Amino acid sequence: MTKALVIGAGIAGPVTAAALRKAGIEAAVFEAADRTADGVGAFLTLAVNGLAALETLDLKPMLDGGFDTPRMVVFSGTGRRLADLSSGPRLPDGTVSQTIRRCDLYVSLRDEVVRRGVPVHYGRRLVDAEVTSGGTVVARFADGSEAEGDLRSPPMRACAVAGSRRSWRRAGGGATRRPSALPAGSCATTSSCRS
């Protein structure tokens, strides 16, 4: 089975891994922090496109504890009303944006992808990634460890990078790109990586 390396076990990383699994691609998640972030953070609001994506991946139940947020009102520290705005459109079934404690969403998404068989590795900060001449991708981590995933090319699309300032290298001399241009949750695979 094609294997993808997903960098970052925040919100997008586990969701990306779930999407890969649903597409028949094996996925492993690598997180820079050496421990989970259970209990950390405040609230975040998901717009309806994000809710639709979670629904597609059978992850919408992970929003238990969230609440409808059709509008947002913003106040300054002194209580002055700064803005009153819509949180965006509704889905055809009436669904509106949802606000949830970030750690509740984080924990339930992570636990669910682990339950689906996705390993999450901590203390693995990506520092470099290289495409081998054999067409795989090797991700290198700050602790000196490596992981290998599949990267079918051409064309090379997304890659195993997140937050790294070091350059993306293609073994044997190819185009370089800056990993920092890609968000955490990117995956080490390509659009043509269907197994």
Site residues, ligand FAD (CB under 6 A): 7-13, 30-33, 37, 40-44, 102, 125-126, 162-164, 183-185
- Closer to ligand FAD by Cβ: residue 144 or 172: 144
Three-class secondary structure of residue 95 per DSSP:
coil
Minimum distance, C-beta of residue 29 to ligand FAD, in the bound complex (Å): 9
Say if CB 3 and CB 29 are below 8 A apart: no
183 in Cβ contact with 12 (< 8 Å): yes
Strands 26-30 and 3-7: parallel
Q: 101 or 152, CB closer to ligand FAD?
A: 101
Furthest CA-CA distance within the chain:
61
Residue among 101, 32, 22 nearest 59 (CA) = 22
CB atoms within 10 A of CB 91: 12
Q: Is 64 left (phi over 0), alpha (psi -120 to 50) or beta?
A: beta
Q: Which is nearer to ligand FAD, 97 or 194 (CB)?
A: 97
Q: Provide the minimum distance between the beta carbon of 92 and ligand FAD in the complex, in angstroms, as a whole number.
A: 25
**In the complex, what is the shortest distance from the CB of residue 80 to ligand FAD, in angstroms, rounded to a whole number?**
22
Tokens of 149: 């995933």
Give the CB-nearest residue to ligand FAD: 10
Q: Which is nearer to ligand FAD, 163 or 171 (CB)?
A: 163
Name the pairing type of β-strands 81-86 and 71-75. Answer: antiparallel
Residue 40 or 74: the one with the smaller Cβ distance to ligand FAD is 40
Cβ at position 57, least distance to ligand FAD in Å: 14
| Least distance from ligand FAD to the Cβ atom of residue 162, Å | 4
178 vs 194 by CB, closer to ligand FAD: 178
Cβ–Cβ under 8 Å, residues 156 and 190: yes
Q: Least distance from C-beta 42 to ligand FAD, angstroms?
A: 4
